[in-house]
Chains A and B, each alone.
Chain A
C-alpha cells in the first residue's frame, strides 16, 4: 500500500519517476550487448499484462507522439498492443545501458527514408550507441523485439493459425515468385501448405524489414526464399518442425546471384507463432568459417519479470546450422 502511494505521487521529473516507478516494481535488469552475429529476441504476451496500474505506468514511458499514436488505435486491445510494442522497444534498448544508465523515456527515434524506425542518439553518445540495431513486429497476441549490434535486423511474427481471406495459391500467384508458387503447389496437405505459406510470408517480411525497405520498397515478387536441405540442395517441403536446413534468398533481378549477405532463422515462438529473423552475415575472413547466427530469446514483462526461453517455447525450425 505504501508503494502504491509513492508511485501515485510521482512528478514529471524523469529522475523522480524512475526512482518511484522502480521502487514499486523491479528495476529493468541490465543486459550485455549481443555479440557479432548474435540476435537478442525479447517478447511480451499482451494477455499476461493485465494490471491497469502497470499499463498506466507504461504509458508514461512513451513520448507525447507515441501516446498520440496509441490513442488513435481503434479499440482497447489494439491500444494495449500498440502501447506494449513501444514499451518493449524502449525498455529493451534501455537495458543495454549504452553510455551509462539510460532512462527508457529519454530514448529518441527517427525513421529512415522508407519509414523504418531507428535509434537517434545525441552527438556525444553516437560512437558506441549507433551500432545498436533493432526491429519489432507484433500480432494481437505477441510482441517481439529483435536487437543486434552492427547488423541490420528484420523480424516478423505471424500467428501459425493466421487464416488468409484469399486462396493461398491465388495469393501466392499474385504476390510471390513462380518458384515459391511451385513450392507451395507441390504440397498436397492443405494444413502443411498453409504452414509453409505463413513461414514464407514471415521470412519475406523479415528480409524487406532487415533491408529497411519494407514491402513497398521491395515488392515480394522481386526475390525468392528457398529452403535448402543440406543433403541434396533442393527445396523440400517436409512440413516437420525439426531443422529444415538452410534458408536462402535469391534476387530475381539478378538470377545468378544469391543474396548471400543475409542469414535467416525461423522459430516457433510460444507455441503459437512463427517468427522469422533476418540478419546481415558476418564478413567471412579468408579461410575461416563465417560465424553462424546465434539467438538468445527472452520473454519479458518489463519491470516485472524476465525469463530466458529455450526448448519448445522457442523452437528453431530452420536456419541455424
Chain B
C-alpha cells in the first residue's frame, strides 16, 4: 500500500483499479488517488501529474544532448535527476536543448512547456508523452 508521508511523491507508472504503484516515489505536488475504491487524502498543492517514467534509452539520449549543448567534461555526471540549471544551463542553453530534442525525436514543444522542463527526467517524460500523442 502506498503511503504519502510528505509533500513529494511521484507515481511513476499508470494505476489500474486495485493496483499498487511499484515504482520509486519521487516528486508529486498533489495526489488524490482512488485505489481499491478508497481515496487517499489529497495533499495541498497545485499541480498533479501521473504518467509513466520514460524509457532509459530516452533518458540517455537526453543526457547526450545536454552534455553536447553544455560542453560538459567526460567525467561530469548527468542522470535523470540532473537539473539543467545546476549543470550551468542558462535560458539560451535550455532553448537550444529543447530544439535539439525536437530534432532528435521529431516532436514539437510549446514554448510554455519548454522552460518548465528543468531536469533530464522531465525532458524525457515530456518527449515520450509527445511521441505517444503523434
Binding site for B on A (CB under 8 A): 72-75, 78, 139-140, 158, 162, 164-166, 171, 174-175, 201, 205, 214-216, 219-221
Q: Are B88 and A215 touching (Cβ within 8 A)? A: no
Q: Are A220 and B92 touching (Cβ within 8 A)? A: no
Q: Are A215 and B95 touching (Cβ within 8 A)? A: yes
The yes or no answer to B96 lying at the interface (CB within 8 A) is yes
Residue of A nearest to B82 (CB): A74
Q: Are B76 and A216 touching (Cβ within 8 A)? A: no
Q: Are A214 and B100 touching (Cβ within 8 A)? A: no
Contact of A216 among B77, B87, B99, B116 (CB under 8 A): B116
Q: A165-B69, A165-B100, A166-B99 are in contact. Are A78 and B115 (CB under 8 A)?
A: no
Q: Which residues B82-130 have CB closer than 8 A to chain A?
A: 82-83, 86-88, 90-92, 95-96, 99-100, 111-116
Q: Are B88 and A201 touching (Cβ within 8 A)? A: no
Q: Are B96 and A219 touching (Cβ within 8 A)? A: no
Q: Are B76 and A75 touching (Cβ within 8 A)? A: yes
Q: Are A175 and B88 touching (Cβ within 8 A)? A: no
Write the nearest CB–CB distance from B86 to chain A, whole angstroms: 5
Q: Are B112 and A216 touching (Cβ within 8 A)? A: yes
Q: Are A216 and B92 touching (Cβ within 8 A)? A: no
Binding site for A on B (CB under 8 A): 68-69, 76-77, 82-83, 86-88, 90-92, 95-96, 99-100, 111-116
Per CB-CB distance, the 4 closest pairs between chain A and chain B, nearest first, are: A216-B115, A219-B111, A215-B115, A78-B88
Q: A197 CA to B116 CA in the complex, in Å?
A: 24
Q: A216 CA to B91 CA in the complex, in Å?
A: 10
Write the nearest CB–CB distance from B68 to chain A, whole angstroms: 7
Q: Are A72 and B95 touching (Cβ within 8 A)? A: no
Write the nearest CB–CB distance from B114 to chain A, whole angstroms: 7
Q: Are B116 and A139 touching (Cβ within 8 A)? A: no
Write the nearest CB–CB distance from B130 to chain A, whole angstroms: 16
The interface centre, meaning the residue of A72, A162, A215 with most chain B CB atoms within 10 A of its CB, is: A215
Write the nearest CB–CB distance from A77 to chain B, whole angstroms: 8
Contacts of A205 in B (CB 8 A): 91
Q: A140 CA to B86 CA in the complex, in Å?
A: 13
Q: Are A220 and B88 touching (Cβ within 8 A)? A: no
Q: Are B115 and A220 touching (Cβ within 8 A)? A: no
Q: Are A171 and B111 touching (Cβ within 8 A)? A: no
Q: Are A73 and B88 touching (Cβ within 8 A)? A: yes
